[in-house]
């Protein structure tokens, strides 16, 4: 866990706490259908965390999941996250997921708008 703060124009970072991936039991996103940066990490006790953004929370969960699959291959529970954004094999998959999702939503919305303006014969 890193603490970040600014002193005048200088940004400072301090490592506050470290854990081993093997000790992580679960990541709880708290609310899958809400855009919030809060989540819990379950070790021997529960740590309440806040990411920089909801996108960074999902990036963190994806990264931890990939590291677990690559090195530990243990059953790591990731709950209360939207599975669509966690899986690489989903239709939303991309190296820049957030922009791709936004582009697709805009595309579908513009198609709906065009279709709603078409007169019925």
| Residue 91 contacts residue 103 (beta carbons within 8 Å) | no
Instruction: Using DSSP bridges, classify how beta strands 26-28 and 38-42 pair: parallel, antiparallel or unpaired.
Output: antiparallel
- Sorted by sequence, the CB contacts under 8 Å of residue 88 that are 6+ apart come out as 62
Pick the more confident residue, 29 or 106: 29
- Please report the pLDDT score of residue 37 as a whole number: 92
pTM exceeds 0.75: no
Q: What are phi and psi of 85, to 5 degrees?
A: -95, -10
The domains of the chain are located at: 2-86, 93-120
pLDDT tens figures, 70-102 = 999 999 999 999 888 887 655 544 455 566 677
Which string of DSSP letters, residue by residue, matches 14-66? EE-----GGG--EEE-S-TTS---EEEEESSSEEEEE-SSHHHHHHHHHHHHH
pLDDT tens figures, 18-27 = 999 999 999 9
| Distance of alpha carbon 39 from alpha carbon 16, whole angstroms | 18
């Amino acid at each position: 866990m890193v603490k970040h703060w600014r002193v005048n124009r200088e940004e400072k970072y301090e490592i506050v706490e470290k854990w081993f991936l093997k000790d992580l039991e679960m990541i709880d996103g708290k609310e899958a259908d809400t855009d919030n940066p809060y989540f819990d990490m379950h070790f021997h006790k529960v740590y309440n965390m806040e990411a920089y953004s909801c996108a960074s929370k999902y990036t963190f969960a994806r990264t931890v999941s990939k590291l677990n699959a690559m090195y530990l291959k243990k059953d790591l529970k990731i709950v209360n996250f939207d599975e669509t954004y966690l899986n690489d094999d989903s239709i939303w998959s991309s190296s820049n997921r957030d922009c791709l999702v936004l582009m697709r939503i805009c595309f579908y919305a513009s198609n709906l708008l065009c279709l709603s303006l078409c007169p019925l014969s």
